[in-house]
A and B are shown apart, each in its own frame.
Chain A
Amino acid sequence: MKKELRLTVNGQPYELYINPKTLLVEALRDHLGLTGTKRGCNCSSCGACTVILNGMAVKSCSILALQADGEEILSIEGLANGTELHPLQKAFLDHGAFQCGFCTPGMLMSATALLDENPKPTKEQMKEGIDGNICRCTGYNSIIRAITAVVKGEYKEEK
């Protein structure tokens, strides 16, 4: 029995008919084709599926799509402003804050939510902000350097 779901993703409203068991990550990836959001574990432990739901970073494998009915979601595809990259995306490029890139969308969403909530986090707060996201390649420190550069305002002029 399918149910109706209304979602706004990256500013675009969508109407879907989905199986109530569908997870938010499945709605995004399989129904809307927004494959930037990844899945790494299905038990909300790896953070690869992180998106921003009403301003909060959430793991989209841990909630049903219907729980997000009527809500606003920001996924990695909506982070850049057109072709203009978000400061965090620029900083990730400059600091080599990713390698295989599979965790990167989730990592960027967690970092974005962190800075949206607290534009001047301490280093410890930055580490806490991404502690739910596993990166098997970088060792995290380049990610912290990238976030730090944004916090210091190094990308402000360009914004």
Chain B
Amino acid sequence: MSKYSVIGTRVHRVDGPEKVTGSAKYTFDMVLPNMLYGKILRSPHPHAKILNIDTSQAEKLIGVKAVVTGKDTLGRKQGIWRRFPELCDEEILCRDKVRYIGDPVAAVAAIDEYTAEEALDLIEVEYEPLPAVFDPLEAIKEDAPQIHEGVELNINVTRHIEWGDVDEAFKKCDHIREDQFKCSSQAHMCMETHDAVASFDYNGKLTVWTSTQSSYFIQRLLADMLDLREGDIRVIKPPTGGGFGSKFELDSAQFCASVLSMKLCKPVKIVLSREEEFTATKRRTPMYYYLKLGAKKDGTLLAKEVRVITEGGAYTGMGATALYLTGFFSSFPYKYPNYRYDGYRVYTNTAPTSAMRGFGAPQSTFVGESQLDMMAEELGIDPIEIRRKNGMTPNYEVPGQAYIQSCGLHQCLDKIEEHIKQRGKLPPNHGIGIAAYGFMSGGIFNWFDTPYAFSAALVRINIDGKVDLFTGACEIGQGSDTTLSMICAEELGIRLEDIRIHSGDTGICPADLGAWGSRETLMNGNAVKMAAADAKRQLMEFAAAKLGANIVYDMDIKDRWIHLVDRPERGVSYFDIVKEAIRGKDGEVIIGRGHYTPHHKGMISPAYSFGLQAAEVEVDPETGKYKLINVTTAHESGTVINPVGIEGQLEGAIMMAGGYGFCEDQPMDEGKILNPSIADYKLIRSLDMPETKILEIDTYEPEGPFGAKEAGEGLTNPTAGAIGNAVYKAVGVRINNLPITPEKVLRALKEKQKQGKKIK
């Protein structure tokens, strides 16, 4: 029997009933009395000076209540890397210059959306178009137009990571490969677009309801931009229709609605259209990759050198983190004794690129795992074997970078090897490709410059034993409300239905950095566990007195029964003790506090998940079309808190990461995204979805709550690489630029045929 009574069990999501009945109220659904509707005017030019904005005609339109431009703001620039002022480069409402097609220049509030939209047409913006540059390889040239003043060669951020002696090590290698890859962009494609309802009142208080991954970030960034005190802004996150990395920076809906509301002292709602969502919110970072890999004959990897140039788009956003993490995770999950990374993020006149599920690791995993398979083939070594030979193991230190405690990669390799063997001989044109991966459980970064703990929680036990759990963690669909409630119930020894969670509301919850970087289970989970333990300790004082047991006995609570661990029959009801404890504390409710900030865990993350994925494809050599047949993943994320949640994360990641490998792309012409609608943006629908199988590996992470670590983004890392390797196994062509479309496969097959004929 499990030693746990709540965690590891299959439960309904705590937000389930409201979501299956349509009664969950998203920001999108909100209507407030006297509410106005806002729309945003955006630049049609990729790069232009703003000479003049005439809003007079728009203001005259009946039903229009306010029109604002950059002149109505404080003219500040913001960015999520708050510690680095030079990376805070986004005004949101541009004053002098626009830098991409979609950059906001004005916003309107009107009695309804139609009127607001009509008003946008009446705003006259006089632009002076400037030369623009779209490709980072062009933007980095001497004669390229300068996108941000003072930024030479348009280089926004550079990152260098190095350990060992790479040049010496290459001299000792028997085989060296040099390869180039290109990783494409990807849209987050949240079902709920970015939206906000902002309400500024006559007391000078601003309340913002918004679809976000971090209420605290939005509160702080709005305070910076609007010159309000943090405490005068309350950000409330209602149920949120997806995030995937797109919703933890301050966005145009939140900012423009707030500016308009402050001007009018009325609530203003802005919902981005799907087209705006595609063209004017941030997206996955496209990357040019150069990789040099050196190995001994026996497959030992001695050295790796990586150079990356990323398409930054117009602003920094979280792009600096993506640049760092793609560099760090390019070494994953292997023990390179010598490693060097140089990354350059380059501004371009395209929609800004930023965080998206996996943060640069899906890119590094695609390129790294493709190249590793090529190296294995060159050496005549089985792909599983080369990964086994070099894969990370528990208690490994990435030199000068990170400490890895739990690591189940080798068990994952065993499981997938077994799976491939069981599959037996494959039919013609089928191939199974593998890709190994790892990911972090939240980052140990504080570029945001928060003075608060990274995570915090508060537990309040009411007289009837019902517990209110307050946390700044943000439920965005990933299931954190359920997982954190389970951790709270387990620690307190009560049932899931005894917990009521309040999350993502800065007015009542302690600050938390939010849902990104796969941080909630470990970081917020630790804070919740600590808060619950604090409350439990207070109950135990009264229970111990009541039971009058010898002090050497250990006490615990299980299923609402407070008892002596060695004599479970000697106990007292949780409910009785709650009543007595509150009476004993002069009527004060029981409050437990918890917080977590990682310490002594290196520079990246307190813990890492690992896994290996095998994708089977069937390629039609006549057309280049291929089907995703099966994706099997051996995955370890420490103790599984919420098994239904992990299944959902895994299968959902395959849809998104498979889409990244298979079909998702944002082609552009002169900075204009050519497919800004769901009709034209191809993604995996139910008919394309492969069979999925999960092989869960048991590990225990000492740093995590009950031994748990991340299970969110890491699962997005392997699929594109596994698909690329599978296509190669099936028909012998390797596609080095994402997505791996039928056109590219067919072209490569024809090329291969031509080459074959020449050789004959």
Chain B residues contacting A41 (CB-CB under 8 Å) are 274, 677-679
A130 within 8 A of B: yes
Taking A93-B16, A98-B19, A127-B686 as contacts, is the C-beta distance between A136 and B655 under 8 angstroms? yes
Contacting pair B652 A138 (CB below 8 A): yes
Chain A residues contacting B687 (CB-CB under 8 Å) are 127-128, 131
B176 within 8 A of A: no
Contacting pair A99 B479 (CB below 8 A): yes
Chain B residues contacting A95 (CB-CB under 8 Å) are 644
Contacting pair B191 A38 (CB below 8 A): yes
Using CB atoms, name the residue of chain A closest to B15.
A101
CA–CA, A130 and B686, complex, Å: 7
Binary interface encoding of chain A residues 64-108 relative to chain B, with 1 for a CB under 8 A from any of its CBs, else 0: 000000000001110110000100010011111011111111001
Contacting pair A96 B678 (CB below 8 A): no
B335 CB, nearest partner CB in chain A, Å: 32
A43 within 8 A of B: yes
B322 within 8 A of A: no
CA–CA, A24 and B30, complex, Å: 19
Contacting pair A104 B19 (CB below 8 A): yes
* Interface segment out of the listed B20-28, B400-408, B439-447, B460-468: B20-28
Using CB atoms, name the residue of chain A closest to B645.
A96
Chain A residues contacting B162 (CB-CB under 8 Å) are none
CA–CA, A85 and B692, complex, Å: 29
Chain A residues contacting B17 (CB-CB under 8 Å) are 85, 93
Contacting pair B240 A100 (CB below 8 A): yes
Contacting pair A136 B21 (CB below 8 A): no
CA–CA, A137 and B17, complex, Å: 18
CA–CA, A79 and B188, complex, Å: 30
B213 CB, nearest partner CB in chain A, Å: 11
Contacting pair B21 A100 (CB below 8 A): no
Using CB atoms, name the residue of chain B closest to A29.
B29
Residue in B20, B193, B274, B650 whose CB lies within 8 Å of A98: B20
B654 within 8 A of A: yes
Taking A93-B13, A131-B687 as contacts, is the C-beta distance between A139 and B652 under 8 angstroms? yes
Contacting pair A77 B652 (CB below 8 A): no
Contacting pair A46 B678 (CB below 8 A): yes
Residue in A101, A108, A139 whose CB lies within 8 Å of B655: A139
A8 CB, nearest partner CB in chain B, Å: 18
Using CB atoms, name the residue of chain A closest to B19.
A101
Chain A residues contacting B496 (CB-CB under 8 Å) are none
Contacting pair B191 A141 (CB below 8 A): no
B67 CB, nearest partner CB in chain A, Å: 24
B5 within 8 A of A: no
Contacting pair A102 B21 (CB below 8 A): no
B685 within 8 A of A: yes
Residue in B240, B241, B242, B689 whose CB lies within 8 Å of A139: B689
B653 within 8 A of A: yes
Chain A residues contacting B476 (CB-CB under 8 Å) are 100
Chain A residues contacting B274 (CB-CB under 8 Å) are 40-43
List B residues 234-248 near A (Cβ within 8 Å): 239-242, 244
Chain B residues contacting A138 (CB-CB under 8 Å) are 648, 651-652, 655
Q: What are 9 A-B contacts defined by CB distance under 8 Å?
A: A36-B22, A38-B26, A42-B274, A43-B678, A46-B678, A100-B190, A131-B687, A137-B477, A144-B686
A-side residues, CB < 8 A to B, are 29, 34-43, 45-46, 48, 75-77, 79-80, 85, 89, 92-96, 98-105, 108, 127-128, 130-131, 133-144
Name 16 extra pairs, CB < 8 A, besides A42-B273, A98-B13, A141-B692. A35-B29, A38-B191, A40-B678, A43-B679, A75-B22, A76-B21, A93-B16, A100-B192, A100-B476, A102-B28, A102-B190, A102-B477, A134-B685, A136-B189, A136-B242, A143-B686
